[in-house]
Amino acid sequence: MRITALFFLLLGFFSCKSEIEQPKNNTEMEIGISVDSLILQGETNFKSLRQITFGGDNAEAYWSFDDKQLIFQSNYSKWGVDCDQMFLMDFNDTFENKTPKMISTGLGRTTCAYFLPDNKHIVYASTHLANENCPEAPLRKEGKYVWPIFDSYDIFVADLEGNITAQLTNEKSYDAEATVSPKGDKIVFTSTRSGDLELYTMNIDGTDVKQITDELGYDGGAFFSPDGSKIIFRASRPKTEAEIKEYKDLLAQGLVQPTNMELFICNADGSEMRQLTRLGNANWSPFFHPNGKNILFSSNFEAERGFPFNIYRIDIDGKNLKRITNSDTFDAFPVFSNDGKYLAFSSNRNNGGTRDTNLFIAEWQE
């Protein structure tokens, strides 16, 4: 699981190629509320902006390899779910007056779905084998925000009708946050099977599992570069004796405190690891631009009280940091379409003063 919007609310709004064949109506961006009213002053990279969902917590919208569909997770009670489940949408869909197609089981809690290269299957993590009910999710420990690391998560493959076709992991550990290489050969995911939260890769059939990080701290939210040669991820790195003790004590309870994170980049096999950001606070949800030269991510490093979170761009050499959004609450989970024409992200904008986090699609311009 990656960080959810409730994380940011609790801190005062602080919470995976073939030739592209675009749908005919992509350029019109005509569905949903007026595009002009959604773009905030200074958001010059957005040519137009379309709202997709209108209630609940909606996040992590990832594109199919042909850019025709997206998969996302939501806990919107009006769609008949008690905690996060996976939903499918076509590019031009909007869900103000209709319910999207759920393609997870509806059991347990799910997280982090991602398309496979055939555009007919997805991978995602679920707790449903351990319990059909939603597991309780403690969010505070001794006054601090914490996040549960459920060891009942395993990674599954499902078709777009919701039928599970394979189980890729079967360890008594947290196995989640799976994303797929654009080359179509590897999956990267986070697991506690070593006793710490580390990154692993495996073939798309679950074979040849290899650990690629080994430093104490929470390594997660990993994505491959467009050519599959590199991996970008966010990590905590406790250093002091007190930080290390707190991290280990929480992890022993199946908890983690993901409030101080920086971005790291490495080769797909874990070699040539280097830290990309040194901004402070929480820097996370990184995603490569299709040009492979820079990365979008979310951060609150400019915030004094833990919020707002905004989306930033940085080159892979750590230079040319630029702010992309100008929210006073929360913008995160930026994900480019494979052709680079569109950006999906989650935001608290236009939620009527509620705590809803909705999905948006921007038409991108440099």
pLDDT digits (tens, 9 = 90+) for 137-190: 877 777 778 889 999 999 999 999 999 999 999 999 999 999 999 999 999 999
Separation CA 197–CA 171 (nearest Å): 14
Max CA separation in the chain (angstroms): 58
Residue 36, in any domain of the structure: yes
Proportion of the chain above pLDDT 90, given as a percent: 84
Domain that holds residue 86: 6-15+17-364
Residue 307: pLDDT above 90?
Answer: no
Give yes or no for residue 31 having a pLDDT over 50. Answer: no
In a domain, 1, yes or no: no
Token pair of 355, please? 């705590």
Per-residue pLDDT at 316 exceeds 80: yes
Q: How far apart are CA 113 and CA 124, in angstroms?
A: 4
Q: What string of DSSP letters covers 270-332?
A: S-S-EE-----SBEEEEEE-TTSSEEEEEE-TT-SSS--BEEEEEETTS---EE----SSBEE
In a domain, 144, yes or no: yes
Residue 234 falls within a domain, yes or no? yes
Is the per-residue pLDDT at 32 higher than 60? no
Q: How confident is the model at residue 40 (pLDDT cuts 50, 70, 90)?
A: very high
Contact (CB, 8 A) for 191 and 204: no
Global pTM reads 0.91
Say how many domains are in the chain.
1
57: β partners: 357
**pLDDT digit string (tens) for 232-270?**
999 999 999 999 999 999 999 999 988 899 999 999 999
Q: CATH number of the domain that 305 lies in?
A: 2.120.10.30
pLDDT value, residue 36: 61
% of the chain surpassing 70 pLDDT: 90
In angstroms, the CA 74 to CA 99 distance is 11
Q: Are 365 and 45 in contact (CB under 8 A)?
A: yes
Q: Is there a domain that residue 341 lies in?
A: yes
